[in-house]
Amino acid sequence: MRQIGKQFWRWTRALAMLSIGAYGAVQLNQTFQAADLSALTVDSDTHHMQGHYVVENESDFPWTLSNARAAGGDQTIELEASSEPYTPDGSKSLDVYHCFVLDPKFARDVMVTGAEVIPGNRQIVHHAILYKVEPAQAPAVLAKDRANGGRGWDCFGGPGLTDSPEGATAGGNWLSVWVPGAGDGLFPEGIGNPMPKGSLIVMEVHYNLNNGMGTDRSKVKLSIAPEGKKLTPIASQLRFAPVEIRCPDAINTPECTRENTLRTNVERAGELAGRFLPNGLLQACRQTPQQYQKSVGDASRIVMSCDQPNPTEMTLYAIGGHMHLLAKSIKIELNPGTQNARTLLHIPRWDFHWQGNYWFKNPVQVKRGDVIRTTCVFDNSVANQPVIGGVQTKPKYVMWAESTTDEMCLGIMMANLKP
């Protein structure tokens, strides 16, 4: 228990500092099932979306940030996801998420200036997310890979490294994302994502098998700045809200109790990820479980929110959100309720496959003590339960965790931190 306690306080201290490592450029997913463009509303005066998507029954409608061009002298390296083609198993679901380990074998600390996924089979590769693994977490990643014969492992929402703050809060440190129609993955000029010697990359590939089965052998192309090149380092800053999602009032099964979900999550993921983390999130937001044990009607609109004072001055370059399948919307605000209030991010109709971030046209200056509010809305009604393996699940009390039927409420910001 003493060791767990030390891990917990190290974890919550990391959350309090709101830093989960470097978070690189990502793009929007290519398909968002919506009848109109209202689902893509953002604060267009301050955001410029990078990526490409298709609106249902309409032609391609890209909002793009002009691709950066690799600066002279940048090195390009290619990494293969596997030594032989991978065949996703579609026997349980036509949506398969699989994680591969890539070892760039950096001989020195580097600054990554771009990361591009080159899909091996575009018919089945729906999108791919690259996660940076710090040297301290590398042994756990390699052990997980070896336990699966060196062919990676099935995953959802991240590598699932629940023995680290990064793994259990955001699935790992995002480096980049590929979606059909995305650009070359190069970051805006003048910034870089630090990767220390000994770092690894985990590539999570979402395979969609609706168009048939097949094999894949995707690659990753990294752009590396020359040694000594002066770049502005970017680091991710995490903003979160607790996840305490009740069942509809009319449902009183054991699965709809907080105690049952805590017990189940502990059995599955251990005390640290299963119990201490969700309780720690409440404490960090100065909230209690009791305030969420109220009537929610049909549970179609459950709101979670948290105000967090900024611990240091920083310059924001980009922002994104992360939730799972019950999520309906996310909003991140700066200094809400004041004369200086502004919306940093608003996605009023969330889709899990729409995993993107937004590069600010003009970087946003955030002062020490400024308040950032993260608000997520969830729908836990009977009709909105996710379909897993062809079967619609039943409502349960949902808390913060890694699995498909768990949830998260995250805002992830790319920023340069001031000393």
pLDDT at residue 178 in the model:
77
Instruction: Label residue 267 exposed, middle or buried (CB < 10 Å: 0-12, 13-18, 19+).
Output: exposed
In this structure, CATH architecture of domain 67-233: Sandwich (2.60)
Closest CA to 231 of 16, 74, 51, 43: 74
* Residue 23 to residues 3, 57, 129, 187, Cα–Cα distance (Å): 29, 33, 11, 11
Query: CA-to-CA distance for 292 and 88, rounded, in angstroms?
Result: 40
* Residue 406 to residues 18, 24, 157, 260, 263, Cα–Cα distance (Å): 22, 25, 10, 14, 14
* For the chain, domain boundaries: 67-233, 237-417
The parts of the chain modelled with pLDDT lower than 70 are: 1-72, 157, 161-172, 179-183, 353-357
pLDDT at residue 354 in the model:
64
Same fold, 67-233 and 237-417: yes
CATH code: domain 237-417 is 2.60.120
Q: What's this model's pTM, rounded to 2 decimal places?
A: 0.74
Query: CA-to-CA distance for 357 and 1, rounded, in angstroms?
Result: 38
pLDDT at residue 317 in the model:
84
